[in-house]
Chain A
Amino acid sequence: MRPKRTPRTASRLEQILAEGHLAVTSECGPPRGSDGNVLETKGALLKGYVDVVNVTDNQTSMTRLCSLAASIRLKQAGLEPVLQMVTRDKNRIALQSDILGAASFDINNILCLTGDHQSFGDCKTGQNVHDLDSMQLLQVVRQMRDEGTFIGGDAISQPPAMFIGAAANPFADPFEIRVPRLAKKIAAGAEFIQTQCIYNMDKFETWMKGVRDRGLHEKTYILAGVTPFKTAGMAKYMRSRVPGIDVPDELVKRMSDTPKEKQADEGIAICLETIERLKEVEGVCGFHIMAIEWEEKVPEIVERAGLYPRPEVGEPAQAPAAAAAR
């Protein structure tokens, strides 16, 4: 068990991590329509099996129901959301405004991202904003919470009190800056990290060694990302078509060599093996299970990985930052 740390916010995720438990997070993509019940349905599948649920923000630049409204719906359905926020679509006024809006609904977690380029989505001819980048957004959320001020310096009447996260991709290029880049995100304010899906364990372990060598695993909580393959086709697609994902050939072969009707089971098996190996990596504080359009498999993965039941954490015992803010 890791040494305990003191939580600074009312976030359930932060409390679980601070108490030294392995956290389990998952994600939920909002629908491409206005039917918010979809979120409650997806949320119900995950409830009790994960600690918090990331709500994606127009992922792959496809227009969807907004992550803020979706986070509110999940919160109202009894789940704790992690509001994902990309800097692609909003300027600093809109970003700060949405942070306040989220805080007003007691959304206690935020994940700061740059976002995929709009050319991948359904608005290829649109502008992108990028007034800030993800590291600057981290600094902004931190400033709003800890200094109680807007970017412009004015005081916030009731500052937001969020647990602040960022993504890290140990597999993107250039590899030699992957550890320094994590250090930079931590310096900018990242208190937890969710990694890109891990398939290449050797490369991930090399990255984690670099992380530990600099003591970065003690300055942030690293949640290792996993995504089960549903089919061999998906493994091939992830290997060759998705930027920044590293799928070793042997995994693609293993999926391809499996009869079609058993590929889903094989994908889950690979995912469980990955989690077992990740549990042994010093500095890994939990798992971010991204079962893309396959949310119903998350409970099974959590149970079979020995991560169920989830630890109980009481109502936040007046977490210091939150208490100060309210």
Chain B
Amino acid sequence: MIVGQQKPLEEIWEMVKDRKRLLVLGCNTCVAVCHEGGSKEAGIIASLLRMKAKHEGVVMDITEGGIERQCEEEFFAPVHGAIAESDAVLSTACGIGVQFIAAFWKDKPVFPALNTTFLGGVEKEGIFSERCQACGSCVLGRTGGICPISRCAKRVLNGPCGGSVDGRCEINKDIPCAWQLIVDRLKELNQMDRYEELSPIQDWSTDRAGGPRTLEQEDLKQ
């Protein structure tokens, strides 16, 4: 899922302080799972902004709402009215949701309340960690199911680098060395012979480097 993290309130305030009628709009899919941008969190941000506005002596009508997904127009119906009545939207979705809202309501300024941080999972309650960089050319089949592109600080495809110490990354002892994990996993799978296979030069044209990506499904296209 997409993991996001709320921006500091001061930064949000600087973006929205000149608005008169602000809608804080939650997104109840990925960023709700990480407790940063669902309807509940949108409500909390709205409350904090009301307090801030009062403290700053600014008159601002702040409302709150939420939809299932901000990245798909099909889910926009419930908030047509609320958005029409506001003069700006503060979206607590990921960057994708923010852009879909902005593209649909062309005359409304839309501001991000979150920084979209990574594609990851729930490692344990309250701890989310990165697992994928959407490079478009998955190597997991040859790396024991552990992604060196997202989990190695140098995205080394033939690792580990010389900075791996006690299974930890040279940049931070809290980060496990992806290649230590890969080696451990290959051992568990009895596939250590695969370690010596050279990973070929990566085709990054499917990655960010190749420009914005799209997926077209012929049978579903309208």
CB distance from B162 to the nearest CB of A (A): 4
Say whether A172 contacts B163, CB under 8 Å: yes
CA distance A120 to B5 in the complex (A): 26
Contact across chains for A130 and B167 when beta carbons are under 8 A apart: no
CB neighbours of B192 from chain A (8 A): 180
Nearest to A117 among chain B residues (CB) is B171
Stretch from B29-37, B108-116, B149-157 at the A interface: B149-157
Q: What's the Cα separation between A115 and B153 when bound, in Å?
A: 11
For window 111-161 of A, CB contacts with B under 8 Å fall at 114-117, 119-120, 128, 130-136, 139-140, 151
Instruction: Name the residue of chain B whose CB is nearest to the CB of A114.
Output: B161
Q: Which one of B48-56, B64-72, B194-202, B211-219 is at the interface?
A: B194-202
Within 8 Å CB of A88, what residues of B?
154
Q: Is the CB of A114 within 8 A of B198?
A: no
With CB as the reference atom, state the residue of chain B lying closest to A88: B154
Q: Contact at A243–B157, with CB atoms within 8 Å?
A: no
Chain A residues, CB < 8 A from B177? 173
Q: B201 and A187: CB pair below 8 A?
A: no
- Asked whether A117 and B164 contact (CB < 8 A) given A133-B159, A136-B158, A187-B198, the answer is no
Contact A244 to B170, CB < 8 A, known contacts A114-B154, A130-B156, A169-B162:
yes
Contact B158 A117 (CB under 8 A): no
CB pair B154 A172 closer than 8 Å = no
For residue B166, CB closer than 8 A to chain A, the reply is yes
A180–B195 CB distance below 8 A: yes
A196 within 8 A of B: yes
Q: How far is the CB of B201 from chain A (nearest CB, A)?
A: 5
Give A135's nearest chain B residue, CB to CB.
Answer: B158
B167 touches which one: A131, A173, A176 (CB < 8 A)? A173
Q: Using Cβ atoms and an 8 Å threshold, which residues of chain A touch B99?
A: none
Pair B201/A128 contact, Cβ less than 8 Å: no
Nearest B-chain residue to A185, judged by Cβ: B158
With an 8 A cutoff between CB atoms, is A323 at the interface? no
A97 to chain B, nearest CB (A): 16
Give the distance in Å from the alpha carbon of A32 to the alpha carbon of B159 in the complex.
Answer: 30
**Is the C-beta of A219 less than 8 angstroms from some C-beta in chain B?**
no
Measured between beta carbons, the chain A residues less than 8 angstroms from B161 are: 114, 134, 172
Chain A residues positioned under 8 Å from B195 (CB to CB): 177, 180, 184
Instruction: State how many residues of chain A have any CB contact under 8 Å with chain B.
Output: 34
B165 lies within 8 A of A174 (CB): no
Q: Is A72 part of the contact surface with B, judged by Cβ < 8 Å?
A: no
Evaluate contact between A184 and B158: CB separation under 8 angstroms: yes
Report yes or no: B196 in contact with A244, Cβ–Cβ below 8 A: no
Interface size on B, residues (CB 8 A): 30
Asked if B160 is at the interface (CB within 8 A of a chain A CB), the reply is yes
Residues of B within 8 A of A151 (CB): 201
User: What residues on B are CB-neighbors of A114 within 8 Å?
Assistant: 154, 156, 161-162
B162 touches A244 (CB 8 A): yes
- Whether A139 lies near B160 (C-beta < 8 A) is no
User: Is A132 within 8 A of B201, CB to CB?
Assistant: yes
Residue B204, interface by CB 8 Å = yes
Q: Is the CB of A173 within 8 A of B158?
A: no
Interface string of B99-130 (1 = CB under 8 A from A): 00000000000000000000000000000000
Contact across chains for B201 and A117 when beta carbons are under 8 A apart: no
Q: Which residues of B contact A174 (CB under 8 A)?
A: 160, 164, 167, 180, 183-184
Report B-chain residues with C-beta under 8 Å of the C-beta of A172: 160-165
Shortest Cβ gap from B133 to chain A (Å): 12
Q: Is A279 an interface residue (CB 8 A)?
A: no
**Known A172-B165, A187-B196: A133·B158 in contact at CB below 8 Å:** yes
Q: Is the CB of A244 within 8 A of B158?
A: no
Q: In chain A between 196 and 235, which residues have their CB closer than 8 angstroms to a CB of chain B? A: 196
Question: For window 179-196 of chain B, which residues contact chain A by CB distance below 8 Å?
Answer: 180, 183-184, 192, 195-196
Q: A9 to B65: give the CA distance in the assembly, Å.
A: 70
A87 — nearest CB in chain B belongs to which residue?
B154
Any B CB within 8 A of the CB of A62:
no
A278 in contact (CB, < 8 A)? no
Which B residues form the contact surface with A (CB < 8 A)?
153-167, 170-171, 177, 180, 183-184, 192, 195-196, 198-202, 204
- Spell out A's residues near B (CB within 8 Å): 88, 92, 114-117, 119-120, 128, 130-136, 139-140, 151, 167, 169, 172-174, 176-177, 180, 183-184, 187-188, 196, 243-244
Further 19 A-B residue pairs, CB within 8 A, beyond A133-B154, A133-B158: A114-B161, A117-B163, A130-B155, A133-B156, A134-B158, A135-B158, A135-B198, A136-B157, A139-B198, A139-B201, A173-B165, A173-B167, A173-B180, A174-B180, A177-B160, A184-B158, A184-B195, A243-B170, A244-B163
